[in-house]
Structure 1
Amino acid sequence: MRFDVGKKALALHKKLGGKIRIVPAAPIRNRAELSLVYTPGVAAVSSYVAKHPKEARYYTMKGRMVAVISDGSAVLGLGNIGALGALPVMEGKAAIFKTFADIDTVPIVLDTQDPDEIVRTVIAIAPAFGGINLEDIAAPKCFDIERRVIEALDIPVMHDDQHGTAIVVLAGLINAFKVVGKKMSSARIVILGAGAAGTATARLLHAAGSKNIVVLDSKGIINRSRPEPHKRELATFNTKGIKGGLKEALNGADVLLGVSGPNLVKAADIKLMAKKAIVFAMANPIPEIMPDEAKKGGAMVVGTGRSDFPNQINNSLAFPGIFRGALDHGVTKITDKMKLNAARAIAALVKRPTANYVIPDMFDKRAPIAVAKAIR
C-alpha cells in the first residue's frame, strides 16, 4: 500500500510540476489595469508604505502571507535530506494552509544548515511576510533558532514540529483522560523521544498542569547530567526521579506518547502500564507500536499519526488555525496561553469522547475556525 501511494504521489507531482501556483489578485487585461498594478500607479503605493510601514499589511501581501521555511535537516521520518528534498514537503504544507485556512504561503528551503545563517536569512526576508512557519529543522538547534527569530521579529513565528504537535497531543489527551476517568495532574506521562516534538509536548503538558512527565531518548530516561540544556530542563519534569530505560518508565505509567521511531515498543511493555492506559504512538509512517499490539497489551485509548486508524494525532488540526488567528487578530507572539487555549478549543469539538474518538478528524472544518478564535 505504501509503495502504491508513493508511485501515485510521484506521478502526480511530475504531472503538476509542484503543488503551488502564484495567481494575481488583480487582473491585468489592458494598459489601464497595468498602470494600477505596476508602474506608474504602484509608485504611490510604494511611497505610502515606505512612510507608513505599519500599514504595509493592508496594502501588500504581508497581511495574508506566511513563509514556510526549512533547512531540510529533519524532514518527516526521512532525516537530513537537504533543501531540495524538503521542498515537496514545504509545498504540501503550503497547500494545507490554503485549503484549511485560506492562508497564502511561500515555501522556502535554505541551502544552509548553519544556525546563524538560518537566523540571519529568516530575519532578512521577514519584511514581506505576516508570519513565519519554521519546519523540519533538527533538534536541538531548532530551539535556539526559533527563540532568536521570535525575539528579533514583530510577527508570529512558530516551529510547527514543536508546537503544532504539542497542541494536538494535548487536545487528544484532554479527551482521552475523560474516557479513562483519570486526571492529567495525577497521571504519569511517558514521552518516548526528546527531539523537537517530544520537548515541546513535555513543556506544554507541564504548562497544562501535568506534574509527572518522564522523557526518554535513545540512552534511556533523561536525567540532569545530560549536556544538552533542553534535556536538563526535561529532567526536571521527572518529579519522582525515575531512572532506567523504557520498562522502568512504563511500569505503572498512565500515558505513553511516542514521538521517536518505528517498532520500539511491544505489547509486553504496554502490559507494564497502569490499567486503562493511553497510548499515542505517533512515529510516521510506522508507529512505535501498532494499535492492535497496544490494545493487546491492555491500552484503552490508542492514537497514531496515521489516517488509517482511529484518533489521528495530526498537527494540521492546529497550525492553519493558529496562523489564521494570528493574522486576523494582529498577534505578534504566539504564547503558551494561546497554545493551551488552542488545544482546549480542539478538544471541545469532540462533545462525547470515546476510546476511538478523542480528537476531531483533520477535515473537520470547525477546527481551524475554533483554533483561530483562541489565538488572540
Structure 2
Amino acid sequence: MESTLKDMRDGASVLDMDPKSTVGGGVEDMYGEDCATEDQLVTPWTLSVASGYSLLRDPRHNKGLSFTEKERDAHYLRGLLPPVVLSQQLQGKKFLSNLRQYQVPLQKYSALMELEERNEKLFYKLLIDNVEELLPIVYTPVVGEACQKYGSIFKRPQGLYISLKEKGKILEVLKNWPERSIHVIVVTDGERILGLGDLGCQGMGIPVGKLALYTALGGVRPSACLPITIDVGTNNEKLLNDEFYIGLKQKRATGKEYYDFLHEFMCAVKQNYGEKVLVQFEDFANHNAFELLAKYGTTHLVFNDDIQGTAVVVLAGVVAAMKLLGGKLADQTFLFLGAGEAGTGIAELIALEMSKQTNAPLEETRKKIWLVDSKGLIVSSRMDSLQHFKKPWAHEHEPVKDLVDAVKAIKPTVLIGSSGVGRTFTKEVIETMACLNEKPVIMALSNPTSQSECTAEEAYTWSKVK
C-alpha cells in the first residue's frame, strides 16, 4: 500500500497499478493523513481505483480503444470494449475527421467538451497538437456563443457552482470537490461575459475554457485546476424568463450582501486550499472587479485577467510594433475606445512601462494616453462624475463627443479598442488614423468577433497600409 501511494504522489498512472494492491490494509491515505478506523461510520478521503465499467466512465483515466490487451485483463475490461486496439494517435485522427465535418461552431464546441468529459488525455493531446484550429473553439470566439446557450446545451456539470443558497456553507461546498490539491481557481460571477454582458450562471463556460488553456498551454495538470461560478443572480431579463436557465432566477445581489458573500468565498478558498492557490477573477463587472482586486491583492494570491492579463499581451504587441515603427514607446500617443477593466488596465501598464524606460513620473507618462468612454473623451472637466478608475486619465482638453473627432484632436499613433461594441472603428476613423500616420497601429481587441471594433481586413483595407 505504501509503495502504491508513493507511486501516486510521484505521478504514476492508476493504470500502471494492480487494482487489487490497493484494497484493504494501510493506515495512511494518499496525502499521508490518517484514515478512518473500521468502527467509524464515515471514511473521509479514501483512495479508490476505478476498474471495469467505472474506469471507462472516468475521464481522467479512460483511454477508450487505446487500452492494451494486458490492461484489459488487469482492469476487468474484457467484453466492455470492442476487440480492436487503436493508438491514441489514430483515435485523435478519427475525432478530428468527425469534428471537421461539423459546419456549426457550437457543434464543434459541444463535441470537444464531450471528449473532455470522456477521455481527458485525448482531449488535451488534440488541443496541444492543434492549437491554431481548436483554440478558437475551446475559448474565444465560440465560447461566447456557448455561454449564451449554456442552459440549452448543458449536459454534465463541470466545476463548482456556488450560489446564494450556499451562504454560510461555502467551505462545505468546496469540500465536495473531489480534488484536494488545487493550484489554480478561475472564478466568475457572470456579470460581464466577454462583450456579451450579464449571462449569470451560464458564464461557467469561461472558467472551464480558460483552465483548459492553463493545461494545454501552461502545463498545469487538469486535476489541479478548479473552475467556479459564483451565482448571485442575474439582471438579464431574457435569462430570468428562460425555462432552460440553470441559475438562480432572481435579480443580482449587490452592496453588502454581494461583498459579504464574496468574502466568505475568499476566506473558504484560503482555508481549504492554502495560501498558495491562485484565484483568477474572470469577467466581473467593472464596479466589482477593481474593488475585489484591491481588497484581496494583499491577503490572497489573486489575478484579474481582464485588468492585468489583457494588459500584458497588448503591451507585448505594442512593443513588437515599435520594431516596425521605429522610435521609443514614450514617443507614441495612445487613444483608447473603452475605459473599463481592459482599457484602464492596458493603459496603466503602458504608462508604467514608459515610466520605467524614461525614468519619468507615472503621472507624466499617463498624459500620453487618452481614453474615450460612452460619453466621449475623458477630460478633467468630467472629473466629478467619473468612476475612480477613470480619474487618472482625465487630462486637460476641451470635451469631445465622437471617436473620429477625438482621433482628429488627439492625433494618436496607436488606437486601441476595448469597448465591447462592434464596428465602432468605422471607415472614417481608420482613414483618419492613416492620414495622420504612415504606419498607424490599430488594435481592435473586443470579443467575440461580433463585438470587435473592426476586422483585420477592414483595418488593412481602409488604411491602405501594405
TM tier relative to shorter chain = 0.5 to 0.7
Tell me what 1:218 maps to: 374
Partner AA of 2:417 in structure 1:
G
Tell me what 1:159 maps to: 304
Q: Secondary structure at the match of 1:158?
A: strand
Matched, 1:190 2:322: no
Residues 66-94 of structure 1: per-residue CA shift (max 9 Å, x gap):
111111111122211112x1112211111
Q: Does the aligned pair in 1 maintain the 2:404–2:428 contact within 8 Å?
A: no
The correspondence of residues 225-304 of structure 1 with structure 2, limited to 5 A, is 225-235=384-394, 238=395, 243-251=400-408, 252-260=411-419, 261-273=421-433, 274-275=436-437, 276-284=439-447, 285-286=449-450, 287-298=452-463, 300=465
Q: 1:241 to 1:116 in 2, by over 3 A?
A: farther
Matched, 1:88 2:205: yes
Q: Secondary structure at the match of 2:330?
A: coil
Partner AA of 1:221 in structure 2:
L
CA distance in 2, matches of 1:199, 1:140: 13
1:10 to partner: Cα distance:
2.6
Matched, 1:74 2:219: no
Tell me what 1:119 maps to: 263
Matched, 1:7 2:125: no
Matched-pair identity in %: 28
Residues 126-150 of structure 1: per-residue CA shift (max 9 Å, x gap):
2305211111111121001111111
Partner AA of 1:86 in structure 2:
G
Q: 1:19 to 1:268 in 2, by over 3 A?
A: farther
TM norm structure 2: 0.51
Query: What RMSD in Å do the two structures reach over aligned CA positions?
Result: 2.7
The structure with the largest alpha-carbon Rg is 2
Unpaired runs of at least 5, structure 2: 1-99, 122-178, 233-252, 355-364
Tell me what 2:163 maps to: none
Q: 1:298 to 1:183 in 2, by over 3 A?
A: farther
Unpaired runs of at least 5, structure 1: 22-59, 301-354, 356-376
Tell me what 1:100 maps to: 217
1:20 to partner: Cα distance:
7.4
Q: 1:20 to 1:98 in 2, by over 3 A?
A: same
Q: 1:19 to 1:158 in 2, by over 3 A?
A: farther
CA distance in 2, matches of 1:234, 1:19: 49
1:17 to partner: Cα distance:
4.6
Task: Count how many residue pairs are aligned between Structure 1 and Structure 2.
Answer: 257
TM norm structure 1: 0.62
Partner AA of 1:215 in structure 2:
L
Q: Does the aligned pair in 2 maintain the 1:270–1:299 contact within 8 Å?
A: no
Q: Does the aligned pair in 1 maintain the 2:189–2:203 contact within 8 Å?
A: yes
